[in-house]
Amino acid sequence: MILTVTLNTALDITYRVRSLRPHTSHRVSEVTERPGGKGVNVARVLAALGHEVTVTGFTGGATGRVVQERLASVPGVVDALVPITGATRRTIAVVDDRSGDTTQLNEPGPTVTPAEWSAFQEAYEALLPTASAVALCGSLPPGVPVGAYAGLVRTARSTGIPVLLDTSGEPLRRGVAARPDLIKPNTDELAELTGSHDPVRATQDARRRGAGAVVASLGAEGLLAATPEGRWRAAPPSTLHGNPTGAGDSAVAGLLSALVEHLPWPDRLTRAVALSAATVSAPVAGEFDRRVYEELLGRVTVTSEASAA
């Protein structure tokens, strides 16, 4: 079982409009609702790949009940969310059909009390003995300590379970110091962590700060990986147009699934890039197009660079 942690779960709501313009009213042509938050998105892709997945984190209020109802209909995903008093947040994505651009509005999330945080930590520790890997994903809701991910990384590592961390800012900086097996920042998050805007130098610096391996998202250019076994770049055969929402989460799912399957790094990166690109191509934000994914598996280019520092 793979365990994904989403401390700031959400109900993702997508509106489609003909053309998004400020200071005007719009007719919405389509509305989509689904359970969200980075770890939930990762779990959905992992389940589609055939892995058993358990989702934990927080849920509360009427929105939280909707999230759990929708989560129950996702095959292969087990709900182990911890109830809280506050209401689960919503995220609003507005898709402009004319340009293809997406405007995202993210609520901050509910305030978590110290007692609720303690209850989650107990639930997390109880789930670890049956986990083959852990993904810690996304932002922290108000009330959760900024060093929360660092503590969760240490708890998992103390039981010998590999940990992937996908967050940003101060939670990432503190989390890296706890020595996660893998982090997956984008270039902006990596620059904020290391102070370097050179992705090659920044990935090496992030490893020196404590990350076992670093896979940096380069957007449409693919991924750059610095690992104990070497350094690679992986790129799709061409730039795909569409909605990038959830593409990073699909890359995390690809990396994590390949990790538990003990695939070599080039194969891990191939899967991650193919899934990410197939997510951009999907008609629904955050899903992946299986046909595109299977087609891209044989077309992703992975090149080896110098040995990682």
- List the catalytic residues: 249
Euclidean distance between CA atoms 280 and 263, whole angstroms:
24
Are 231 and 304 in contact by the 8 Å Cβ rule? The answer is: yes
- Angle 198-203-204 from CA coordinates, rounded to 5°: 105
Q: Between the CA atoms of 49, 52, 56 and 62, what dihedral angle is there, to the nearest 10 degrees?
A: 70
Handedness of CA 211, 212, 218, 224 (dihedral sign): positive
Query: Where are the alpha helices (H) located in 195-283, listed in sequence order?
Result: 199-209, 247-260, 265-281
Q: If we measure between CA atoms, which residue out of 72, 71, 308, 73 comes closest to residue 207?
A: 308
Output DSSP code: residue 141: P
Run of H or E residues at 148: helix 148-158
Euclidean distance between CA atoms 213 and 203, whole angstroms:
8
Euclidean distance between CA atoms 9 and 209, whole angstroms:
28
214-243 burial: b if 16+ Cβ within 10 Å, else e: bbbbeebebbbbbbeeebbbbbbeeebebb
Distances (CA, A) of 2 to 172, 208, 213, 255, 304: 21, 27, 19, 12, 29
